Structure 1
Amino acid sequence: SSATWSPLQFNALNIYVCPSGEVAALAKSAVAFDPSASDLPAMAESPEQFRGQSRLPRFAEPLRYDLVLRPDLAACTFSGSASAAVAVSSPTRFLVLNAAELAVDRSSIRFQDWAPTEVAQFEEDEILVLGFDRELPLGEGVLAMDFTGTLNDQMRGFYRSKYEYNGEARNMAVTQFEAADARRCFPCWDEPAFKAKFKITLEVPAELVALSNMPVVKETVCGPLKTVYYEESPLMSTYLVAIVVGLFDYIESSTLEGTKVRVYTQVGKTSQGKFALDVGVKSLDLFKDYFATPYPLPKLDMIAIPDFAAGAMENYGLVTYRESALLYDEQLSSASNKQQVAITVAHELAHQWFGNLVTMEWWTHLWLNEGFASWVSYLAVESIFPEWNNWTQFLDETTSGLRLDALAESHPIEVDVNHASEIDAIFDSISYDKGASVIRMLQSYLGAERFQKALASYIKKYAYSNAKTEDLWAVLEEETGEPVKDLMTTWTKQQGYPVIYAKLNGQDLELEQAQFLSDGSSGPGMWIVPMTACCGSYDLNKKFLLKGKTDTMHIKDFAASQSGQNFWIKLNIDQNGFYRVKYDDELAAGLENAIKAKKLSLMDMIGIVEDSYALSVACKQTLTSLLRLLNAYRHESDYTVLSHVTSVCLSVNKISTDANPDLSSDIKQLLIKLLLLAAKYADKLNTVPVFNMFMCDYNFKAFMRFTFQKSRLGS
């Protein structure tokens, strides 16, 4: 039709009405899910054919965006214009892209010099379909349009965040586009595989700071407004585009290579950004060496946002944080807050390589982003602050993943995502904690040096591109010669993990695996398990793959020099593996002696008690065995070990209070002994501040509650 249509806003859907009053919104008939939705026929006959599909078609893809945005912080609205260079690869008369909660000005839409004859915006699919009266020429063309939207209060898309300046309430404009919310700011191909270059321009009040991914090229001031032009970005996914507009102060430093790093805060808070700035600079230098690839952008900004849904977001060159995740006050913040700031900063900066430079092909491979960033953030912080014993903190992440993944309702690391609406559901402890833990397990099996070299090759091969989980395994396998794909597929494509039953039979160590479930039931899972073992000393160790349900490890030569109380075998050295171990009575007794003699690492001291508790809860071992093990820790003074031991004691006490009052009393006495001895050691070793930190732990607060109750009862 040649009639001129005008847009009517109805929720997030633009319904176009012709002058005769005819409604041109298309009927909402469902289209069955097609796994090859990205290969929809280019020669579709109607916009309706694109409805109900999980992904955008690939017959036209963006190469570059020129984006102009004008946020109105008083009215909480914005207007904009987008011009996208598009490569048309197959004959078609349609362009299909994402748009949601935007009012697109139909009269402004042009592809080259052509106006569309059909415009359909499907609210439930968040897509905009443009139909033309002729076939589009193959090759590059330019799509342009104007649009308006609302600076929402939902902390996603282009939104407003409130702050105070000189006692006055103000709004700042902020973006949060992961996972699929760039479409709420501007029409775009809002999937991670559609990488393009971005040239952004902002028109804002002249007194405000306006930040984006790239450095400012120039600013021009016209009355109360200024126009800020930014450098063109390298190829990047839409979810990494970022814009922040408001009043800020900043502090800055530089990396060894001269990359400028800044921390932006609300006015007057820059002193609280010094620690994050220091960690950020050191992390960039460290990751440049580790990945053997320079930081890809000319600058890095980190900014604290008052209203922020996530802990932080790794936008390319402009990382946004919740204030508590970036700012550290030396006078008021706790030691744990300091560690969390360091971990969070390192995590987001690791994404600049693993996630931003190399990006997952689709959200099914989300764990590639989050698992790797979580793991490598601990690697970085351990290097920057070795005195923190940071890997013992990482064990908390592993423990969290183990607890969640022992539920029958868990899910694999890799989850097939069929629609953008499903994405948020997989941002959980499996993506982050289990993902990071199995990567650490793989690194331990392959060896740190071989693993690092292979990762560097992977980054180089897929830089400025996209990759799937299988692509990573292929590179690691090629670089190391190990069966990485077969091994890791058992960990990423099925839920759960095994418990390894270890039994001593003469000179043989008999091993058997079974899926561990916290309810005590049996699961069908089977894994290729990277096993590590040491005997009597960490210098006597072995590494092998448990490929079937059972295997036997010959230990005659391995354990020949060990006898009596010096004989002990520890599987899963330093808890590098994502599995639990159930020892027979003889092996368990040997480990109890090793604990008393302080022969084990902190990681293993924690891992043994966590495994034993989980096995007891699942009725895989007796409570008596657990209590005997807990008693072996009665002379322990390390804070992190005590934190886990007392947490287990409190959990057992909670279970046993009604069922067995005598047992509850014994557990309380053990806790008293643990804490009193810890205080004595702290005083002797002049580590009272560490002990004080422990005394403030939630475990101690709970302990004080039930000892107070006991004293009131006179028992």
Structure 2
Amino acid sequence: MRSSLRNLATAGAVIAFAVSTSVFAATVPPAASGAPVPLAETVPSDLPRNARPTHYRIEVTPDAQKLTFSGTVSIDVTVFTASDALTLHGNGLTVSDAKLVAENGTVTALQTSVDEKAQTLRFAAGKAIAPGKYRLEVTYAGKIGTQPSGLFALDYPDRRTGKDVRGLFTQFEAPDARRFVPSFDEPSYKATFDLSAIVPADRMAVSNMPVKGQEVLPGGLKRVTFATTPKMSSYLLFFGMGDFERTATKAADGVEVGIVSPTGSGAKADYARDGLAQILPWFDDYFGVKFPLPKLDNIAAPGSSQFFGAMENWGAIMSFERILLLDPATTSPSGKQSIYSVQAHETAHQWFGDLVTMAWWDDIWLNEGFASWMADKVTDHFNPEWNWKLNGIDGREGAMALDALPTTHPVVQKVRTVSEMEQAFDSITYQKGQAVISMLEDYVSADTWRAGMQTYMRSHAYSNTASRDLWAAMESAGGKDVDLIAEAFTHTPGVPLLRVNVSACADGKTRLDLTQDAFSLDPSARGGEKPIWPMPLLIRAGNGEPMRHLMTSKTDSVTVNSCDAVLVNAGQLGYYRTLYNAKALDALVSSFGSLAPIDQYGLLRDNLSLSLAGYQNMSAGLRLLSAVPGTTDATLAGKVVGQWEGVYGLLDDARAKDRIAARISKTWAPRLDKLGFDPVAGEPLTDTKLRAQLIDTLGSIGDKRVVAEARRRLQGLAADPKSLDGPLKGTWLSVAATNATRADWDLLRGQAGKATSFVERQLYYTNLGMARDEAIAKDALELAVSGTPDATSASQIITTVGRAHPEMTFDFVRAHQAAIDGLIEHSGRARFFARIVASSTNPEMVGKIEAYAATLPADEAKPVVQALTGLKERLANRPRQRVEVAAWVKRAR
């Protein structure tokens, strides 16, 4: 109750602030002025550039039961050069009629041909089409998929009856609006859209804009017509239909915000709705441009995807239900935080991505990196007790883990094919992009950065940009050296490594000799010439004022007026690894307790990674990990416990595992004893989350008391299916499922069949794949392809089995390839395979993965090749890691 009241008070203060300052948020006109012009040759395109759309009028009639739809589209196009045909995108569409209507009313029948590989439709006139304005009218039909791409269907249990019902949704990023409508389906072909749909009269239809009108039709149908959208890219169009309900409120800026969810969701939508009302005005103020649509909905879709979790359709975000609706029976504490932060990410896209859009997918990081950065900023602002900034360290580490492999790529990457578009959404795009932005903002100052952002938004609203446009805006706002630093970190792949040699203090001064290198997880790649990055350093000695220094050469030296321990990456916003000499690291270990939590966590993660890669002994990272006491801040404690679980997972020797487990239990079991097994009314969310992490880690290392408690609670489901309901339901299920007996597993399977909500059903199904017992895990794989679980749950079972049994899972998937391909949308298949083998340390898997990668086109194989490279890295480093960890834990007892 204390946390709820504190959040409510904060929300009230923010709303008052937004009202008082909203006059400063500019309202940008709904579309840029000026006559259409051909797409610039500097922007990649699959289309001939001889025409451009300005407006679409689309009407669709979906048949949810038959999984088909029919449609008509009328596109206002400007033709720039004489041609005998117009070429648009289309994928899986059957055209029955097409014609071109000139401004003077002349109608030309068009002949349609399909290029399936290029995903295009060619509309041939049989004669020259003169330059001018036309209306292209097409009648067509398509298929409704069962995987999240294009127009797709999801089945889920009705909350009132328990019987399965069907909802329709769309997912168009990157190249799938063309599955819904013939279109110029590239981000630079922006246009306005009128959408109408003929749907059952008892169903709700939702799109980017509010409903403009409804018309009753024969046969229990209605025509729903939506208001015209602003000028936008085709991939941002959205349509949904189903037995939905909507809860809405007015945000402080006057925009109506709503959550659309399956009927019967009730209060589960309130937390997301209230969060959306809080977030939107804050972004208005930050960007200096008011959200330009009259409403912003977030639509809850049951299910999941191997490719994405939510999508930023303008005015109609779509999120999978598990990260949008807060269900007291199943939502974990981290799940509650995800509801807020994921929604913040998608809301940030309403500006960065929707209002201003990258010209081509090379710059997709402009969308994703900035949305991640803004999401963390607003989440931390409204939830300071979460200590959310620590998540930036996890993001940095996730990016560096991929960026330090030979298969890395620049943040600004070359994308040309559809498959390359689909594979561009990785941790370098998201997390490295976010880390670079955070580093640049810190370097130029938050005020200067914000001024540059506002200039960028106002200058490029309703248009398309490249990265250089943003850097120009920052330079104009006074951001010195932004272009220099940004170009290096976004165009040069890899992780900088800063070697720091700290000399003995003399006359109250300490000299730091600095050398640039490149951090690599591949020992064979550590020689030769390396790039030189302009590296913004923030150096702090002890508790003194930090000193800024821009290092632009391979070697440099800095003198600080102190004899205290020196931290080079103070605040942890620099995207580089810092390798200290032994004396400097000893000093940091000795003063570790005086560091801020962000520096403690960043320093220990950095040194663990350096140790894992072999730049220093594992003892260096483990010393810092051990320096965090069991009484530390709850957020930091949870993250540190998670790192201990990772160290335990490195080992294969039973005696060494027992020793590390005993060490973990000695430090962290007392913290769990203090918290207790059950949440306490009114406790901070961070305590609930820490409890979950402690139970998970102690259960993972085989703590007998925790495992026994998990099994006891699992057995309680037989008598009372709601006995586990609460924020720790997933945690207790995970521990019980990991250690499951056959009877435990059968009980879980029975509960999955009885579940009355999709999220609960998927929770049970996913946990069926957790078992360490190989025979039970094999049965879980067989269940996944039996047709009993829905497709998204089945794919989750398989990836979960892969965590503990990667080799068996890989072989099973290859043996059942056709069936499993039907469970996963095409864009997610390569990543699905990569996840399966992510924990493998079996050398026999190298040849198997190589053979599988050889069956894929090069532009599809990227995640599989990355997984192969990661496996080779583990095979090279794991033996040394195990020996060094075992030696350290033996000495440190």
Q: TM-score, normalised by structure 2?
A: 0.69
Change (3 A) 1:210 1:651: closer
Change (3 A) 1:85 1:655: closer
What is the match of residue 191 of structure 1?
186
Deviating more after overlay: 356-365 vs 53-62: 53-62
| Match of residue 371, structure 1, among 369, 372, 376 | 369
Query: Is the 2:675–2:691 Cα contact (8 Å) retained in structure 1?
Result: no
What is the match of residue 46 of structure 2?
55
Letter matched to residue 278 of structure 1: D
Deviating more after overlay: 184-193 vs 263-272: 263-272
Query: Is the 2:648–2:701 Cα contact (8 Å) retained in structure 1?
Result: no
| Match of residue 520, structure 2, among 484, 495, 517 | 517
Partner deviation per Cα, 1:82-129 (whole Å, 9 max, x = no partner)? 101101122323211101101101355656634356532101001111
SS of aligned partner of 1:304: strand
Change (3 A) 1:653 1:118: closer
CA–CA distance in structure 2, aligned partners of residues 196 and 667 of structure 1:
60
CA–CA distance in structure 1, aligned partners of residues 664 and 351 of structure 2:
46
Query: Is the 2:672–2:695 Cα contact (8 Å) retained in structure 1?
Result: no
Query: Is 1:160 the equivalent of 2:153?
Result: yes
Query: Is 1:279 the equivalent of 2:275?
Result: yes
What is the match of residue 222 of structure 1?
217
1:456: how far off?
A: 0.9
Partner deviation per Cα, 1:411-461 (whole Å, 9 max, x = no partner)? 221211112232111111111111111111111111111111111110111
Letter matched to residue 533 of structure 1: I
Number of positions where the alignment pairs a residue of Structure 1 with one of Structure 2? 648
Deviating more after overlay: 339-348 vs 636-645: 636-645
CA–CA distance in structure 1, aligned partners of residues 210 and 242 of structure 2:
17
Change (3 A) 1:582 1:93: same
Letter matched to residue 200 of structure 1: L
| Match of residue 297, structure 1, among 272, 293, 298 | 293
Letter matched to residue 103 of structure 1: T
1:403: how far off?
A: 1.6
Change (3 A) 1:380 1:654: closer
CA–CA distance in structure 1, aligned partners of residues 689 and 202 of structure 2:
49
What is the match of residue 546 of structure 2?
541
Partner deviation per Cα, 1:18-54 (whole Å, 9 max, x = no partner)? xxxxxxxxxxxxxxxxxxx9779xxxxxxxxxxxx95
Query: Is 1:393 the equivalent of 2:379?
Result: no
Query: Is the 1:610–1:644 Cα contact (8 Å) retained in structure 2?
Result: no
Query: Is the 2:302–2:322 Cα contact (8 Å) retained in structure 1?
Result: no
1:187: how far off?
A: 0.3
Query: Is the 1:639–1:690 Cα contact (8 Å) retained in structure 2?
Result: no
Query: Is the 1:312–1:348 Cα contact (8 Å) retained in structure 2?
Result: yes
1:646: how far off?
A: 3.7
Correspondence list, 1:200-599, <5 A: 200-223=195-218, 224-309=220-305, 310-506=308-504, 507-520=510-523, 521-522=525-526, 524-537=530-543, 539-555=544-560, 558-559=561-562, 563=563, 567-595=564-592, 598-599=593-594
1:198: how far off?
A: 0.4
CA–CA distance in structure 1, aligned partners of residues 186 and 452 of structure 2:
27
What is the match of residue 104 of structure 1?
95
1:57: how far off?
A: 2.1
Letter matched to residue 542 of structure 1: M
CA–CA distance in structure 1, aligned partners of residues 380 and 63 of structure 2:
44
Mind listing any 5+ residue stretches in structure 1 that lack a counterpart?
A: 1-36, 41-52, 710-714
- The structure with the largest helix share of the pair is 2
Query: Is the 2:88–2:120 Cα contact (8 Å) retained in structure 1?
Result: yes
1:380: how far off?
A: 0.7
Deviating more after overlay: 125-134 vs 264-273: 125-134
Query: Is the 1:66–1:199 Cα contact (8 Å) retained in structure 2?
Result: yes
Partner deviation per Cα, 1:355-384 (whole Å, 9 max, x = no partner)? 000001001111110110011001111111
1:199: how far off?
A: 0.9
Change (3 A) 1:353 1:708: closer
SS of aligned partner of 2:128: coil
What is the match of residue 80 of structure 2?
89
Deviating more after overlay: 524-533 vs 61-70: 524-533
Partner deviation per Cα, 1:634-670 (whole Å, 9 max, x = no partner)? 4652333334434444444454553x95x66664454
Structure with larger RCO (C-alpha < 8 A, sep 6+) = 2
CA–CA distance in structure 1, aligned partners of residues 362 and 451 of structure 2:
26
Deviating more after overlay: 454-463 vs 171-180: 171-180
Change (3 A) 1:392 1:39: closer
Query: Is the 1:636–1:674 Cα contact (8 Å) retained in structure 2?
Result: no
SS of aligned partner of 1:296: coil
CA–CA distance in structure 2, aligned partners of residues 649 and 334 of structure 1:
21
What is the match of residue 177 of structure 2?
182
SS of aligned partner of 2:126: coil
CA–CA distance in structure 1, aligned partners of residues 153 and 626 of structure 2:
55
CA–CA distance in structure 2, aligned partners of residues 613 and 107 of structure 1:
62
Change (3 A) 1:495 1:184: same
What is the match of residue 840 of structure 2?
none
Query: Is the 2:98–2:137 Cα contact (8 Å) retained in structure 1?
Result: no
CA–CA distance in structure 1, aligned partners of residues 82 and 356 of structure 2:
30
1:517: how far off?
A: 0.9
Overall identity of the aligned pairs, in %: 32
SS of aligned partner of 1:133: strand
CA–CA distance in structure 2, aligned partners of residues 191 and 390 of structure 1:
35
1:528: how far off?
A: 1.4
Query: Is the 2:641–2:693 Cα contact (8 Å) retained in structure 1?
Result: no
What is the match of residue 604 of structure 1?
599
- The structure with the largest strand share of the pair is 1
Query: Is 1:672 the equivalent of 2:675?
Result: no
Letter matched to residue 485 of structure 1: D
1:472: how far off?
A: 1.0
| Match of residue 611, structure 2, among 579, 600, 616 | 616
1:492: how far off?
A: 1.1
CA–CA distance in structure 2, aligned partners of residues 526 and 691 of structure 1:
41
CA–CA distance in structure 1, aligned partners of residues 210 and 417 of structure 2:
34
Change (3 A) 1:649 1:72: closer
What is the match of residue 877 of structure 2?
none
Query: Is the 1:682–1:691 Cα contact (8 Å) retained in structure 2?
Result: no
Partner deviation per Cα, 1:574-622 (whole Å, 9 max, x = no partner)? 2111111111122112211221xx2111111111111111111121112
CA–CA distance in structure 1, aligned partners of residues 232 and 52 of structure 2:
13
Query: Is the 1:529–1:545 Cα contact (8 Å) retained in structure 2?
Result: yes
What is the match of residue 703 of structure 1?
701
Mind listing any 5+ residue stretches in structure 2 that lack a counterpart?
A: 1-37, 505-509, 677-682, 708-892
What is the match of residue 633 of structure 2?
638
Segments of 4+ in structure 1 off by > 6 A? 37-40, 680-683, 706-709
Query: Is the 1:504–1:587 Cα contact (8 Å) retained in structure 2?
Result: yes
Change (3 A) 1:76 1:653: closer
1:293: how far off?
A: 0.5
Query: Is 1:171 the equivalent of 2:177?
Result: no
